[in-house]
Amino acid sequence: MEKAPGKREARKEERRLAILDVAKRAFLESGYSAASMSAISAELGGSKGTLWNYFPSKEELFAAVLEHATAAYRQQLNDLLAPSADLWTTVVTFCRSFITKITSPEAVRLHRLIAAEAGRFPELGEIFYRRAPEPTLRILAEFFAGQMAAGHMRADDPAVAARALACLCMGGLHQRVIWGIAEPTVDAVESETHAAADVFAHAYDIGRAGGA
Amino acid sequence: MEKAPGKREARKEERRLAILDVAKRAFLESGYSAASMSAISAELGGSKGTLWNYFPSKEELFAAVLEHATAAYRQQLNDLLAPSADLWTTVVTFCRSFITKITSPEAVRLHRLIAAEAGRFPELGEIFYRRAPEPTLRILAEFFAGQMAAGHMRADDPAVAARALACLCMGGLHQRVIWGIAEPTVDAVESETHAAADVFAHAYDIGRAGGA
DNA sequence: AGAAAATCGTACCCTATAGTACGGTTATGG
DNA sequence: CCATAACCGTACTATAGGGTACGATTTTCT
């Protein structure tokens, strides 16, 4: 089905990506209402006609931007679970990576934007959820199911365990960063990581390496 | 210090509250950018001059609305911790009330608005945090400190325990409601309540009443 | 009653913005 | 080499929104 690219299509795709990139910055920075098509077009450098040629309205550009951004977000969340020697280390490592990702400036802006517009663009929350939190929870749940079966942690509903760990990672520092009252410094991430992992380990009878 | 009210001041205050009420609806519904001063003034029924008489700019009206709304929000969060016969029941009751409050339509809209604008109005997140999450966490932490001292739960940092419980209540259903992909039905709240309380109870060695 | 403050209605200014129109220009494909 | 599709620049429309100005009117304080 894939034909030889052809310079036409190649340039079009490249341009499309450039537009999405500029528009993404604009929307993440200012929100939907405050971002301006004219400004996006100006930063792109071409004419406004061209922009409307690619995306026939502000809403459709916005939808495309979110589609693209959440896809990239998902990509980043896929490889967070890296099994280590022991379960405790795996959990700590996951928490650290996960908290680091979700408190990164771009992730925070994306989160804000989605929360802000979820009321007026109902599909928006769904495409985000299907792409980021849901797969992450699924991977976690599958992993915990195996660990429970192997007797490395208390047996219970693995989906509940997955949600619990995700909650513990998202509720504290992440929330405060979103509210703009905390910075995701390395120290803050580390402290949050250990608090989350600690509570989780106690809840599911996970032994700490070194026997603390 | 408080002088006799005087009809002048009384009417002024009343009018001020009416403005805040209308403006609150507008901002919660549309967000800062999309809400319009002219529309607010129109819904109020007076002249635009009067509106600008009370609040000299859109930004100041917005700030006043948030100030007022978060104050009300705090009021509602204060009485959530109602000690019962045993600790397990207290925790479950708290989770249920807390989750119910934070998933209510108005709380969700407020949350969205604050998340959306925290980037551009840095003080905003702070006034919200100081008024709602922080007092709640403090009350929880004090309560847990007492329970730990009495040997009713595993002794640990009570602040960490408070944060953990709050995270467990905010991470699941609440997030999905904010993203617009879940409804805060009674059943959903109940299920979330028990999941959160269960994990917390295991993490802190809290015995269930009836010995499950 | 009379001064002062608040309100009203309305018209107005200025700027910004989504979106259109169009004639000229450049690149691509056959 | 030529038709065609994309692109550019620019000027333009229409609308809306924040904020102001001002004279007329009502309400409150003394």
pLDDT in tens, A146-155: 999 999 999 9
Cα distance between residue B66 and residue B57, in whole Å: 14
pLDDT: is B122 or B28 the higher one? B28
What is the reported pTM?
0.91
The span from the CA of B175 to the CA of A137, in Å, is 14
8 Å CB contact between B157 and A194? no
Q: CA torsion angle for B89, B90, B93, B95 (degrees, to 10)? A: -110
Q: What is the reported pLDDT for A58?
A: 96
Range 124-153, chain B: CB under 7 Å to any strand D atom: none
CB A70 within 8 A of CB A113: no
Under the banding of pLDDT at 50, 70 and 90, the label for residue A2 is: very low
Q: Do B175 and A170 touch (CB under 8 A)?
A: yes
In terms of CA atoms, which chain A residue is nearest residue B201? A203
Between A200 and A81, residue with greater pLDDT: A200
Which residues are CB-neighbours of A124 under 8 A, at least 6 positions away? Answer: A63, A66, A114, A117, A118, B180
B127-146 average pLDDT score:
93
Render pLDDT for A105-158 as a digit per residue (tens, 0 to 9): 999 999 999 999 998 888 889 999 999 899 999 999 999 999 999 999 999 999
Has residue A212 got a pLDDT over 50?
Answer: no
Average pLDDT, chain A: 92
**Residue-level pLDDT at B10:** 81
Q: Residue B212 pLDDT more than 60? A: no
User: CA of A103 to nearest chain B CA: how many angstroms apart?
Assistant: 14
Quick check: B2 pLDDT over 50? Answer: no
Tell me the pLDDT band of B5, cut-offs 50, 70 and 90: low
Is B59 near strand D, with its CB below 7 A from some atom of it? yes
Does residue B113 carry a pLDDT above 60?
A: yes
DSSP string, chain B: ------HHHHHHHHHHHHHHHHHHHHHHHHHHHHS-HHHHHHHH-S-HHHHHHH-SSHHHHHHHHHHHHHHHHHHHHTT-----SSHHHHHHHHHHHHHHHHTSHHHHHHHHHHHHHTTT-HHHHHHHHHHTHHHHHHHHHHHHHHHHHTTSS--S-HHHHHHHHHHHHHTTHHHHHHTTS----HHHHHHHHHHHHHHHHHHTTPPPTT--
State the average pLDDT for chain B: 92
Which residues in chain A have Cβ-Cβ distances shorter than 8 Å to B164? 168, 195-196, 199
Cβ contacts (< 8 Å) between A195 and chain B: which residues? 160, 163-164
Check B167 against A170: CB less than 8 A apart: yes
Q: Is the pLDDT of residue A209 over 80?
A: no
- Half-sphere exposure in the Cβ direction for A32 (13 Å, CA): 26
Tell me what the mean pLDDT of segment A168-178 comes to.
95
Query: Of all nucleotides in the shown strands, which has a C1' nearest the CA of A61?
Result: C18
Residue B1 has pLDDT above 50, yes or no: no
CB–CB contact B119 A133 (8 Å): no
Asked whether residue B53's C-beta has any atom of DNA/RNA strand D within 7 A, the reply is no
pLDDT given for residue B3 in this prediction: 45
| Model pLDDT, residue A32 | 95
pLDDT for the residue A73: 86
In this predicted model, what pLDDT tens digit does every residue of B146-185 receive, in sequence order? 999 999 999 999 999 999 999 999 989 999 999 999 999 9
Mean pLDDT of B185-210: 93
pLDDT of residue B85: 85
Q: Report pLDDT digits (tens) over A61-84.
A: 999 999 999 988 888 888 888 888
- For the cut 80, the answer to whether the pLDDT of residue B211 exceeds it is no
Whether the CB of A8 is less than 7 Å away from nucleic strand C comes out as yes
Distance between CA atoms of residues A97 and A121, nearest Å: 30
Q: How far is CA A19 from CA A16, A40, A55, A74, in A?
A: 5, 8, 9, 21
- DSSP letter at A79 equals T
Band the pLDDT of A42: cuts 50, 70, 90. very high
Least confident of A39-53, A74-88, A169-183, B46-60: A74-88
Structure confidence at residue A210 (pLDDT): 55
* Residue B71: strand, helix, or coil: helix
Q: How far is B139 from chain A (nearest CA, A)?
A: 17
Which strand C bases fall within 7 angstroms of a protein CB?
5-11, 16-23, 27-29
List pLDDT tens digits, range B20-55.
Answer: 999 999 999 999 999 999 999 999 998 999 999 999
